[in-house]
Copies of this chain bind each other. A is one copy, B any other.
């Protein structure tokens, strides 16, 4: 939405990925069309195919870019807090904001259909988890328990974001920050539970 100055002068590929993320943010994964991405970057419908053989390849590239953006947001969230519990809560907030803003999150990054034979996407996904794992480990002390905590906490945060996007929570919690806080509360509850049984 910001600077779209001298695109398609050497960096159409990046411009297309940006447009793809925009389209996904507006109407979800399925709404991504190569033609529309081309339109938005000011090139012909055929131009993208020089950079992405199929629609799936553009989608994959968008997923990788999303992973990179998410890593940035999560790292910032970790840095904002001091104790592990707060760090986890902050990443929960960050994740909720990310999913609501981009209309996609771990579901896109770890999409089973996209991952088939794509090493770069698998690597990007791993990078995301590598931000969260140490935080969870600091809380549980145990690797198995950390994965368990991570799984539950991502599920909760993702569910909150997904239900907000659909409209289910609009009545009770219309604001993004409210949703983010709720996810952080679950994170806190899970952190406490891990402290007892871990």
Query: Interface residues, chain A, CB within 8 Å of chain B?
Result: 28, 30-31, 106-113, 115, 147, 151-152, 154-160, 162-163, 165-170, 172-173, 182-183, 185-186, 189-190, 192-193
Give the distance to chain B from A49, nearest Cβ to Cβ, in Å.
Answer: 23
CB-based contact B182/A193 at 8 Å: no
List the B side residues contacting A151 at CB < 8 Å. Answer: 169, 172-173, 182
A130 to B152, CA, bound (A): 26
Option from B107, B147, B193 in Cβ contact (under 8 Å) with A168: B107
With the chains together, A182 CA to B193 CA distance in Å? Answer: 14
Can you show 18 pairs from A to B with CB atoms below 8 A apart?
A30-B30, A106-B163, A107-B168, A108-B166, A110-B168, A111-B167, A112-B166, A112-B167, A151-B182, A152-B156, A155-B169, A158-B159, A158-B163, A159-B159, A159-B160, A159-B162, A189-B190, A193-B193
Shortest CB-to-CB span from A125 to chain B, Å, is: 9
Q: Is the interface of A mostly helix, strand, loop or mixed?
A: helix
Tell me the number of copies of this protein. 2
Check A182–B155 contact: CB distance below 8 A. yes
Q: Are B172 and A147 in contact (CB under 8 A)?
A: yes
With contacts A152-B186, A156-B155, A189-B189 taken as known, whether A110 is within 8 angstroms of B166 at the C-beta atoms is: yes
Tell me the minimal C-beta distance from A31 to chain B in angstroms. Answer: 8
Interface centre among A111, A156, A159, A186 (most CB of B within 10 A): A159
Query: Known contacts A189-B189, A193-B189; is A160 also within 8 Å of B167 by CB?
Result: no
A20 to chain B, nearest CB (A): 16
* Inter-chain contacts of A182 with B (CB < 8 A): 151-152, 155
Q: Which chain B residues border A162 with CB–CB below 8 Å?
A: 107, 158-159, 162
Tell me, in angstroms, the Cα distance from A156 to B156 when the chains sit together: 4
**B30 A167 Cβ-Cβ under 8 A:** no
